[in-house]
Amino acid sequence: MFRRSVLLAAISLAFVGLVTLPANAQSAKDDSGWSRKYKVPPPSSRIEVTVLRAFNGKPIENAAVIFHPIEGDKDKGVLELKTNEDGKAIIDVIPIGDTVRLQIIANGYQTYGQDYKIDKPEMSMEIKMKRPTQQYSTYGNGGSAKSDSGSDNKSSGSTTPPASGSDGNSGSQQAPPASQPK
């Protein structure tokens, strides 16, 4: 008797579940206000950057190729890649119509930076990296560096001041001068 009532309850629960399941599935389809709408991504461009040495044209391996997508005057983030053994880095997620600031950093070379307008589905850029040159300064000497052996230097020795005293004896301590009797 007990088994029969348990069996009857299980069958009735299964029947109720089967009847209400399609009704719940149908109501989930009708309630589209709660689900996210799929937004098609904009068409993107395939950009291939080749990084070469300027003096011999050989590829630079493991150079950092950094894309800064720009919107107005604001930087929208950073996408960084490394070049392969052929000096190439390929990216295909930047939308057509965007402006990006391309920055390339390689050990032993000047940092490269340039803004590009992405207007084609496929773009190829060849960047020639230069060795560092003499640094320029906006302070003093009109922007040009002069060596210490120039004609402006009056003394030919060291320009460091003596350690103590004004007479140039830097190695020993001197006693203060004794007062003269009158």
Average predicted confidence (pLDDT) for the chain: 77
Domains defined for the chain, CATH in brackets:
47-129 (2.60.40.1120)
Give pLDDT tens digits for 138-161.
887 654 544 444 444 443 444 444
Identify the CA nearest to 92 among candidates 42, 47, 125.
47
**Helix, strand, coil % (nearest 5) of the chain?**
20, 30, 55
Per-residue confidence (pLDDT) for residue 27, from 0 to 100: 55
Give pLDDT tens digits for 39-98.
998 999 999 999 999 999 999 999 999 999 988 777 788 999 999 999 999 999 999 999
Identify the CA nearest to 100 among candidates 76, 82, 124.
76
Per-residue confidence (pLDDT) for residue 62, from 0 to 100: 96
pLDDT at residue 162 greater than cutoff 50: no
* Element holding 52 (H helix, E strand): strand 44-53
Q: What is the CA radius of gyration of the chain?
A: 38
- The pLDDT confidence band at residue 5, using thresholds 50, 70 and 90, is confident
